[in-house]
Amino acid sequence: MRNHSCMRVQRVVLLACICASLVSCASLHAPNGTLPEPENIAESVFGGWVYLRMFDNYTRIQGEFIAVEDSSIIIMALTSSNGFAAQRVDRSQIEYASIEIHTTNSTSYGLWTAAGTLSTLSHGWFLTISAPTWAIWGSVATANIHHGGEFSEWKPDDSWWRSMTIHARFPQGMPRGIALDRLKSFW
């Protein structure tokens, strides 16, 4: 009876560690080719990639971050036909926002962490110690690399959006005289 309980504990711990590793592989929303590598960011001429989840719990809007306005933000949004169209989004309706400004290699890091965790299967009772160690340190490194290129916020408020303007195509705000329908995307 006691041996069965121990085995169960080990499996639960291992499963939890693997899940924790995979959680740290926060996936990038930006399509391939839309974001620069970190070392090339100084030459990038577009805004970051913004991903929004609205309070209605099913609407998702994502695209190039164009500008911040008093009560809205402007996005060059990805449409259902895989084109782009400039769109004004009411900030009060945004439940979650994420802005990515460059690519990361966090996916490979997360998988490495998970692989490292799986390798502890042979450790027996030591699994309880070594598996969490892999999960913790690998995931910590992964989370930091990813955070370097991504900013996210639940129920983002005005001060958060103001701090994010530096990642917009127009950090100075929407230029005067430019209507939304004149905006184009080069992706």
Q: How far is the CB of 61 from another protein (least distance, A)?
A: 21
Select 60 or 184, whichever has its Cβ closest to another protein. Answer: 184
Burial (CB < 10 A; 0-12, 13-18, 19+), residue 30, is: buried
Give SS3 for 170.
coil
**How many Å apart are CA 113 and CA 47, to the nearest integer?**
31
Give SS3 for 98.
strand
Select 2 or 176, whichever has its Cβ closest to another protein. Answer: 176
Work out whether 17 is an interface residue with another protein (CB under 8 A).
yes
Q: CA torsion sign, 138 to 141 to 143 to 145?
A: negative
Burial (CB < 10 A; 0-12, 13-18, 19+), residue 8, is: exposed
Which of 19, 115, 129, 180 is the binder for another protein (CB under 8 A)? 19
Work out whether 143 is an interface residue with another protein (CB under 8 A).
yes
Which of 115, 121, 140, 180 is the binder for another protein (CB under 8 A)? 140
**Could you give the C-alpha distances from 46 to 41, 100, 147, 184, 187, in angstroms and in order?**
10, 12, 20, 11, 10
Which of 99, 139, 156, 161 is the binder for another protein (CB under 8 A)? 139
Which of 72, 89, 97, 169 is the binder for another protein (CB under 8 A)? 169
By the criterion CB under 8 A, which residues form the site for another protein? 9, 12-13, 16-17, 19-21, 23-24, 38-39, 41-43, 45-46, 101-102, 132, 135-137, 139-141, 143-145, 147-149, 165-167, 169-172, 175-178, 182-184, 186
